[in-house]
Amino acid sequence: MDNNLIDRMEQVPYRNLPSKLSLLLLTMLFALTVANPVAAATNILPTQAIDTAAGEALFKANCAACHKLYKKATGPALFQVGDKYEKKWLYSWIKNSQEMVKSGDAQANAIFKEYNGAVMTSFPQLSNTDIDNIIAYTYKAKKAVAAAAVTTATTSSNSGGFSNDLILGALVLVFGLLVVMLVLVQKTLKRIAEANGVTYAEKPARKPIWQAFIDNQFLVLVACIFMLLSSGYFAYGYLMQVGVDQGYAPVQPIHYSHRIHAGDNQIDCNYCHSSARKSKHSGIPSLNVCMNCHKNIGEVAETTLAEGKNEYGVDYNAEIQKLYAAVGWDEDTQSYTGVSQPVKWIRIHNLPDFAYFNHSQHVTVAGVECQTCHGPVEEMEIMYQYAPLTMGWCINCHRETNIQVKENAYYEKIHEELSKKYGVENLTAAQMGGLECGKCHY
Amino acid sequence: MKEIINMKNAMKIAVVTLVSLIMVSCFDNAKPNYQYMPNMYAPVGYETYGDYEIFPSGQEAMLPVDGTIPRGWEPYDYPNTTAGLNDAKATLTSPLAVTQESLAQGKQLYDIYCAVCHGEKGDGQGILVKREKILGIPSYADPGRLITPGGVYHVQMYGLNSMGSYASQTNQEERWAITQHVMNLKATLEGTPLLVPEEPAADNTEEKSTSTSVAGH
């Protein structure tokens, strides 16, 4: 027994060991990653001062459109490109690649053919030192796997402050304890009193409360009326929401976050829903529109990935892979396989067949913001139906909204005549005929 | 006696809470609500983007039949190759007259489709570049590139390298309007004179512009 205790006490000083060890490992790793590119860079060009930071800026401004460091893109991956080609060759290739291809240079023609004759833009503005800096930057080692970043993010987010739920839970616990204590105290007091010989007089049998209630005819009447009214209220409410899909948020085949695309990245709604400008439907973008950007963006940033995993339980990279599978994009060869499958998006906003609605009329002619009907889409991680889309809701907006007549020759004449007729300065959509049955039902 | 009644009451309360819980739990946001008369809601015809057995792979959204063209579509003869691009740069010219409207339309469309990467000023500093999502977008004033209206149109049509095609999101007239705006941005960056809009000569042009803008009825 005693021995065990001592054993346990001796273990205590070592309990920090794992974390200390991992810290040591981390620092070593860090030192290695920092040391590597510097060493490599100095190996290549010992005489000149190399500025990897300037190289990084130049790389991002000029090369990154077609080249990635560790992955093939439009052009080859550039990690440690200085080992693959002579420095002089790189200078002239970067400054004018087509001239080298024409001059019959074997290496130039080989790479030109390998990438199906994609022409590399000439960069005459880059000096040799600039190119040296860029090459030095390409020796930057790949960061440790994203998993580490995710775990650190989770721990930090967990340790940061108490959540409201935790505080509430603690309060409830304290309250419960108090109640239990009160009951216990009352019981013991009673027991002590009984032990001391105090006797409690038997209470006379009272009229039960429901008997009293039934005897009071007025109260019964009032209660009945109240019950009828309230059940009528709830029944009305229930019947009125049948057929209304407000808040409908189905699980889509690919987790597409409007929050990231329209919110964080501020991509215009019309970029993807391009037919909202000129047709009845706002249009679900075909996958080639996704690929306009995602041809380049195969992985999300580490912070975005961690955010998705921690807050929404979604692996955004896996969702991008779903897109690639559906559109038939092969990342390794950077080409389409030709094997594609439709993504079965689930329709959210659905007007009944007997109501006609035209997007272009509202978006282009009236200039209504998408958010007026669809709500704060730029904040929605999962898309849901914001408006009730009932007839009353449509009519209400038509009554309240003035039509756009400024610089709109189409409405000029009718606006002049109607505003005279109604004696108002600005016509509402309703006054222009926005309440006529045949406008939406035919 | 009293206890039995209490038991009964408790049972009743339990049943009521259970029923209300069941009713509340029926409101599942991932499922559409009930409808009064579904056959009034559901369309008789095939709906856009619908899923119907009659179509190949069940998809209503299909490519047009081979050899058919949309109304107003014009053939584009330059192939999607480097030679085609160089050809377009040298020989392709805009059929769209420069007007106040076309410039305004060009700016509006450019801000929707192009500015996220190329930046509103055409300097390659769009929001996606600033946030380092997409990198290496050149400025239109980049000296290593020959930017002509024909080339700009060709690149919108087919895409180039990492840039995708915008032919599915814009039509011919819109692409030429965007081209005008791009050339204006390039001129602004380089400090050269801008495109001069033609004076609206007669009623002719006005009629044309209104008749095109009232599409979609």
Give the pLDDT score at A225: 96
> Chain A residue with minimal CA distance to B48?
A281
Q: What's at A207, amino acid-wise?
A: K
**How far lies A232's CA from each of A226, A229, B79, B96, in Å?**
10, 5, 70, 65
Read off the pLDDT of each residue in A63-80 and give the average, rounded to a whole number.
78
Shortest CB distance from B113 goes to which of A63, A271, A279? A271
B161 part of contact set with chain A, CB < 8 Å = yes
Give the pLDDT score at B31: 84
Quickly state the pLDDT bin for A145 (edges 50, 70, 90): low
Domain of B191: which CATH number? 1.10.760.10
Shortest CB distance from B162 goes to which of A60, A279, A295? A295
- What confidence tens digit (pLDDT) does each residue in B69-100 have? 888 788 888 888 888 888 888 888 888 888 88
Task: Say if CB A68 and CB A77 are below 8 A apart.
Answer: yes
Nearest to A385 by CA among A284, A249, A242: A249
B86 assigned to some structural domain: yes
> Chain A residue with minimal CA distance to B137?
A65
CB contact under 8 A, A247 and B133: no
Give the pLDDT score at A290: 92
Question: pLDDT: is B11 or A152 the higher one?
Answer: B11
Q: How far apart are CA B13 and CA B18, in angstroms?
A: 8
Nearest to B106 by CA among B96, B93, B95: B96
Sole residue written with tokens 């009825």 = B217
Residues of B in contact with A73 (CB under 8 A): 162
CB contact under 8 A, A364 and B40: no
B4 assigned to some structural domain: no
B108 assigned to some structural domain: yes
Q: Which two tokens stand for residue A372?
A: 């007026």
CB contact under 8 A, B164 and A247: no
Task: Say if CB A219 and CB B11 are below 8 A apart.
Answer: no
Read off the pLDDT of each residue in A368-379 and give the average, rounded to a whole number.
91
Calculate how close chain B gets to A124, using CA atoms only, in Å: 6
User: With 70 as the cut, is the pLDDT of residue A368 above it?
Assistant: yes
Question: pLDDT: is A74 or A343 the higher one?
Answer: A343
DSSP 8-state code for residue A351 = -
Residue A245, Cβ neighbours under 10 Å: how many?
21
Give the pLDDT score at B212: 41
Instruction: Count Cβ neighbours within 10 Å for each residue of A341-378 and write b for 16 or more, e otherwise.
Output: eebeeeebeeebeeeeeebbebbbbbebebeebbeebb
**Cα A391 to the chain's mean position, in Å?**
31
DSSP 8-state code for residue A428 = B
CB contact under 8 A, A353 and B163: no
CB contact under 8 A, B112 and A268: yes
B172 assigned to some structural domain: yes
CB contact under 8 A, B216 and A280: yes
Residue-by-residue pLDDT tens, chain B, 217 positions: 445 556 667 777 787 777 777 666 556 788 888 888 888 888 888 888 888 889 887 888 888 888 888 887 888 888 888 888 888 888 888 888 888 888 888 999 999 999 988 988 888 888 888 888 888 788 888 777 788 888 899 999 998 888 889 988 888 889 999 999 998 888 888 888 777 777 655 444 444 444 444 333 3
Question: pLDDT: is B155 or A46 the higher one?
Answer: B155
Give the pLDDT score at A143: 67
CB contact under 8 A, A117 and B82: yes
Give the pLDDT score at A183: 95
Residues of A in contact with B41 (CB under 8 A): 243, 350, 352-354
Residues 238-277 of A with CB under 8 A from B: 241-245, 247-251, 264-268, 270-271, 274
Residues of B in contact with A316 (CB under 8 A): none
Read off the pLDDT of each residue in A257-271 and give the average, rounded to a whole number.
91
Residues of A in contact with B165 (CB under 8 A): 288, 292
Burial of B26 (0-12, 13-18, 19+ CB in 10 A): exposed
Instruction: Tell me the pLDDT of chain A averaged across its residues.
Output: 80
Q: Which domain holds residue B89?
A: 82-201
Q: How far apart are CA A55 and CA A225, in angstroms?
A: 81
Shortest CB distance from B35 goes to which of A117, A243, A384? A243
B64 assigned to some structural domain: no
Give the pLDDT score at A405: 73
Quickly state the pLDDT bin for A154 (edges 50, 70, 90): very low
Give the pLDDT score at A92: 79
Calculate how close chain B gets to A158, using CA atoms only, in Å: 27
Residues 115-154 of B with CB under 8 A from A: 116, 124, 127-128, 131-138, 142-145
B211 assigned to some structural domain: no
Question: How many domains does chain B fold into?
Answer: 1
Q: Where are the domains of chain A?
A: 36-137, 209-240, 390-442
Question: pLDDT: is A441 or A4 the higher one?
Answer: A441
B160 part of contact set with chain A, CB < 8 Å = no
B83 part of contact set with chain A, CB < 8 Å = no
What class does CATH assign to A36-137? mainly alpha
User: With 70 as the cut, is the pLDDT of residue A9 above it?
Assistant: no
Nearest to A299 by CA among A322, A316, A311: A316
